[in-house]
Amino acid sequence: MEKSNLVDSLGFPPMEDEAEGVSISKTMAIIACTSMSILYVAILYSPTLILRLPNPSTLNSFMIRRFICAAVSSVISIFLCAFLLIPVGKWGLSSLFGLYGIRTDHMWNAVVYPLSLTSLLYIGSFVTILLSPKKSRKEEIVNGDIFRCLKNSIRGFLERMTSLTSNVLAWRNYVVAPLTEEVVFRACMIPLLLCGGFKPYTIIFFSPIFFSLAHLNHFLELYFQQNYTFLKASLIVGLQLGYTVLFGSYASFLFIRTGHLIAPVIAHVFCNIMGLPMLSSQRKGLSIAATAAGFLGFIWFLFPATNPNLYNYRTDNCLCWHGFCTLS
């Protein structure tokens, strides 16, 4: 396809000058990604260790301080990535937004398809919840008052959503952590690794190592601050690291295949809301059957639902992050 027909993901003119000069070594890409991982964790402890600020007196103040640290880390990573991949004099909305997968085109596809795909892993959880309603709901259904049951369910959902807006832990789990982690570990690191010469599938299985490094601090907190035994802390963190590696691979896959940052962010928020997929319940057989069916469906639709043609963007090389991706 001729250059005149090349597509810029945000509707801006193609960035020919920037794309032609993009090249970094694999060593530089790995060093930059490792530095971002360390910074993301280390900066959380900088207020007390470096700035010598007193320890927060409340959970809210503690979490707000961490939110600020995570935001600062993300901004530093954003500028470091841009500095390595785009000449400073040519920074602009087109180059920066395109680099980080912040796009407005095909946004609906980037939200619905990855969310639907991810939800297949939780069919067992959904079935268990639907078949195990609260006693009051059972009584309402038995008495034939379906509308009251529906009304109470909607009211309960709205009340929970309202309470979450003032819950600092909810902000961490559903806003700050998904957004900052996906910006740093996907939007910043993956373009660096692609432009460093790594193949897409190498990145999908390799980049989660950086993601898991950002969770090793949990072991220190459990072992030294909460006085967990070494074995118990290791088991808890080991399980968490295993889950983060699996999710990191999946999030990297979504980002590379769709070229949209919103795709892994939405999947991250959804997984944080749902937790680990439910594998057993009082209705064990049905739950396991639903989980198995959902997993098979996930495998079946994994590539069709993330086909780059659905997102009008080729994302398998460095130039694709600079507006030079064809539709073929």
Q: What share of the chain is helix, strand, coil (3-state, %, to 5)?
A: 75, 0, 25
**3-state SS class at 7:** strand
Q: Please list, residue by residue across 233-264, b when 16 or more beta carbons sit within 10 angstroms of its beta carbon and e when fewer do.
A: beeebeeebeebbebbbbbbbbbbbbbbbbbb
Q: Tell me if residue 268 is catalytic.
A: no
Q: List CB contacts of 269: < 8 A, sequence separation 6 or more.
A: 174, 175, 178
Q: Please list, residue by residue across 169-188, b when 16 or more beta carbons sit within 10 angstroms of its beta carbon and e when fewer do.
A: ebbbbbebbbbbbbbbbbbb
**Residue 206 identity:** F
Spatial distance between the Cα atoms of 254 and 261, rounded to a whole number of angstroms: 9
- Which of 124, 120, 123 lies closest to 283 in space, CA to CA? 124
- Which of the residues 182, 215, 260, 322 is marked catalytic? 215
**Residue 296 identity:** L
Q: Tell me if residue 139 is catalytic.
A: no
- Which of the residues 18, 140, 181, 182 is marked catalytic? 181
**Residue 37 identity:** S
**3-state SS class at 325:** strand
Which of the 8 DSSP states describes residue 278?
Answer: P
Active site residues: 181, 215
